Amino acid sequence: MTNIFFNKSFITLVNEASSNKDFAKDLTHSLYRYPASMSPFLVRQIIKYTTKPNDLILDPFCGGGTTAVEAISNGRRVICSDINHLATFVTSVKSLPLKDKYIIEFEKWALNSLIKLKTRNSFKSITLKTKNGKIIAPKTYSILLFLRDLANKIDNKYVNRIALITILQSAKYCFDCNRNSGRCNNTFTC
């Protein structure tokens, strides 16, 4: 039996996949971009080439869930863990197949939340300090907490998780814009 890691076609696949700089927009990869995440294209090729359907894959440092999403979408079973609670939350949300009825329920929640945001007269500014003591986006922070509280009232755990990760991604956009002041390409301000 030859070692697949020295197989020329495997090495070619890995090189091509790892040099792909496109961000994967398929599956659930775009729900939340975890820092230092692996390329889904690379993970997909490694899983397809080194495992068979129904094989069990262990990812002890799951991060943003790339391996879990690719394993499940390619018919593999997966066990994931991470010391970081954000990583396990993101992985659990991204690897959870959603039924259409949950997506519809999430859309209704999002619309109702937008209506509540628009009809609310004001938001108290809540101070958020960075490690270096800088105060950033106090109004945005209070709006995000308001949305989190609305999401936590959702009874369905699947819809609750997708609402929370949506708020998390929104917060990431807002605070990344604040950190990169003047260099943010997002179309909304925080």
Q: Output the pLDDT for position 131.
A: 77
Write down all domains in the chain, each with its CATH number in brackets.
4-94 (3.40.50.150), 100-179 (no CATH)
35-88 per-position pLDDT tens digit: 777 888 889 988 998 899 999 999 999 999 999 999 999 999 999 999 999 999
Residue 112 has pLDDT above 90, yes or no: yes
N-terminal to C-terminal alpha carbon distance within the chain: 57
What are the b/e assignments for 90-106, b being 16+ CB within 10 Å? bbebbbbeeeeebeebb
* Residue 123 burial (C-beta neighbours within 10 Å; 0-12, 13-18, 19+): middle
Span 164-183, pLDDT tens digits:
999 998 888 877 765 555 55
3-state secondary structure 37-63: CCCHHHHHHHHHHHCCCCCEEEECCCC
pLDDT tens string 11-43: 777 677 666 666 667 788 888 888 777 888 889
**Mean pLDDT (whole number) for 123-146:** 80
Which residues have C-beta within 8 Å of that of residue 43, sequence separation ≥ 6?
A: 66, 67, 70
Structure tokens at 139: 């109004």
- Predicted local confidence at residue 4, as pLDDT: 57
